Amino acid sequence: MIRATPCPCIAFAALFATALLAATAQASSLPVRDGPGAKFDLPISGMLAGFPPGAQGHLDRSDLMALPTSVIDVTGKFGTETKVARVLFLSDLVAALPAKPGADVLLASCTDGYLSVYPFEFIRRYRPYLVLQLGDRGPERWPPPGLAFNPAPFAIDASAALAAGVEEYRDIGHKRPWGVVSVRLSSMQESFGAFFRGRWASPSPEAAAGREIWINSCASCHPGPPGAIGGTKSGRPMEIVQAIAGANRSFFMQYVRQPTSLDPAAKMEPHPWYSDAEFDQLIAFLTTPAAGLAADSGRPR
């Protein structure tokens, strides 16, 4: 079954960011404390007022718990015995931070090198939330009964019961990380600027759509070129993915859809819902020629 693909447009993210930052500028209610903090605090960096570039602070767990939180139904999401969770919506988290002007994306890094990308427009539309407690258990007592993998110190999720269209969002799994160990407040230009310059300064409509697929999905596991971040879980940087996509279209499509069909040892999760049209977009982005180089007019073998 092919999933619908309502990717949030980066341009719309700036509009939401402006409104969100206007509210933040009036009063920041969440202190960012120096240093990495204790084991179950949340390290944070990035575009934070009062913090120089590269500095790391942390959000004290007690300060997070003091923000407006909600208890929601998470039956089936965190083992068979956990029915509810106390959560903090990312929209409330971002609004409480002392964000610098221009911030329009929140990045969450995980224990295994995974990176989840949350444009502010995604945060507004799909209402993802930070899990603080599972049942009455804080992360010091995770995993809860019935769950083998420990999602501590933090997990992020999104629910169709809270926002329509969540399950139809392309690669919603990339927005549901466990083992979140830090967050970064950033901007699309700071984190993915390389994808808007040089060869990608004036992409075709197809390549521009493929760029959004990469940023919101592929970048969770694959680091980009200098000036475009990405997760390190896969161990395969974007340059390798580009080479495969450009050399053999059919192999690339089959590998993304069902990796173990070509490599029984593959660790990449299958993406069978990707349509041929989406592959056209992704490959157009990946194979956009550098300035001064002619595009290969033939389809890869």
What pLDDT, in 10s, does the model give residues 163-202? 999 999 999 999 999 999 999 999 999 999 999 999 999 9
Q: pTM here?
A: 0.86
User: Considering 186, 212, 236, which residue would you say is the last residue of a domain?
Assistant: 186
Q: Please, which pLDDT band fits residue 57 given cuts at 50, 70 and 90?
A: very high
In which domain, by residue range, is 102 found? 10-186
User: Considering 137, 159, 186, which residue would you say is the last residue of a domain?
Assistant: 186
% of the chain residues with pLDDT over 70: 87
Q: What is the CATH number of the domain that holds 211?
A: 2.60.40.420
Looking at the structure, tell me whether residues 173 and 223 fall in a common domain: no
Surface-to-core class of residue 298, CB atoms within 10 Å of its CB (0-12 exposed, 13-18 middle, 19+ buried): exposed
93-107 per-position pLDDT tens digit:
999 999 999 999 999
Looking at the structure, tell me whether residues 106 and 216 fall in a common domain: no
Based on the structure, what is the number of domains in the chain?
A: 2
297 assigned to some structural domain:
no
| Cis-peptide, bond into residue 225, ω within 30° of zero | no
Q: Under 8 Å CB-to-CB from 167, ≥6 apart: which residues? A: 160
pLDDT of residue 28: 61
User: Considering 186, 207, 232, which residue would you say is the last residue of a domain?
Assistant: 186
Looking at the structure, tell me whether residues 170 and 218 fall in a common domain: no
Looking at the structure, tell me whether residues 176 and 264 fall in a common domain: no
